Amino acid sequence: MTPLDDTVRAVEALLFAAAEPMTVDSMRAYVAGDVRAALDRLVSDYAGRGINLVRRGERWHFQTAGDLAHLLRREREEVRRLSRAGIETLAIIAYHEPVTRAEIEAIRGVQISKGTLDVLMEAGWVRPAGRREIPGRPLTFATTPAFLAHFGLETRRDLPGIDDLRAAGLLDPVDLAVERAVEKANEDD
């Protein structure tokens, strides 16, 4: 292996020892030198190994390679089982964020029971994300860095199928889609 410079070794040790994923800024509080270059070097060093260095949002951490899941999987410690309502609500928040409760309910066609958002927030995947400046100033919700980390997403752009859904207009409100369809019909006439 080619010799490592001190910054690369330091960042490697730091991320290895850290209890939580770290941002570049938080790493800089510990390590001198070019942290970003060190991360690039480590990502390539660990590519293909049993451990990988991954970026989740603004945070970095080491984790085991996905293809080894069959060896390591711990079914019994299964991360909390979400109800169907919980899964759908989480997906709607992730694909539409920031999104109000009323918007979530409009998509699901049913009221959200009180516990559903609580469970998602308790899991650390969803957070309140400010109020929308419309009458009533409703609270909006968005996903957290822990959500990205848990589902192995580098950014929200990695959400499965998000580009196709956006292109198909399926992330737009129904009203907007109806308007568009009407316009299109008029053009075709």
Partner 1 sequence: MTGEQLTLDLDGWEGPLDLLLNLARAQKVDLTRISILALVEQYLGYVERARTLQLELAADYLVMAAWLAYLKSALLLPRDPVADADPEELALRLQLRLERLAAMREAGARLMARDRLGRDVFRRAAAEGLRTIRTPRWSAEIYDLIAGYGRVSARTRPVMHVVQDRAVMTLDAAIARVAAMVGSHVSWTAIERFLPDDATGAFRRSALASSFLAALELARQGRVELQQAAPFAPLYLRAPA
Length of the chain: 189
Q: Which of 24, 33, 55, 65 binds a second copy (CB under 8 A)?
A: 65
Both tokens of residue 125? 């995947």
Q: Which is nearer to a second copy, 29 or 134 (CB)?
A: 29
Q: Which of 25, 74, 84, 174 binds a second copy (CB under 8 A)?
A: 74
Both tokens of residue 116? 């559903």
Count of alpha carbons within 13 angstroms of residue 124, beta-carbon side: 8
Q: What are the start-end ranges of the E strands in the chain?
A: 22-23, 51-56, 59-64, 99-100, 126-131, 139-143
Count of residues of this chain found to bind a second copy when the rule CB under 8 A is applied? 27
Residues that bind partner 1 (CB under 8 A): 13-14, 16-20, 30, 61-66, 69, 72-82, 84-88, 90-92, 94-95, 107-111, 119, 122-123, 125, 149-153, 159-162, 165, 168, 170-172, 174-179, 181-183, 186, 189
Quote the least distance from Cβ 20 to a second copy, whole Å: 13
Taken in order 88, 89, 94, 96, the sign of the CA dihedral is positive
By CB under 8 A, is residue 155 in contact with a second copy? no
Q: Is the peptide bond before 98 cis (omega within 30 degrees of 0)?
A: yes
Q: Which is nearer to a second copy, 48 or 136 (CB)?
A: 48
Region binding a second copy by CB under 8 A among candidate stretches 12-20, 109-117, 130-138, 172-180: 12-20
Residue 31 site contact among a second copy, partner 1, none (CB < 5 to 8 Å, cut-off depends on kind): a second copy
∠ CA 78-120-143, rounded to 5°: 110
By CB under 8 A, is residue 22 in contact with a second copy? no
Choose among 164, 102, 30: nearest CA to 38.
30
Q: Distance between CA 102 and CA 127 in Å, rounded?
A: 16
Quote the least distance from Cβ 9 to partner 1, whole Å: 13
Q: Which residues bind a second copy (CB under 8 A)?
A: 1, 3-4, 8-14, 16-17, 29-31, 45, 48-51, 62, 64-65, 68, 71-72, 74
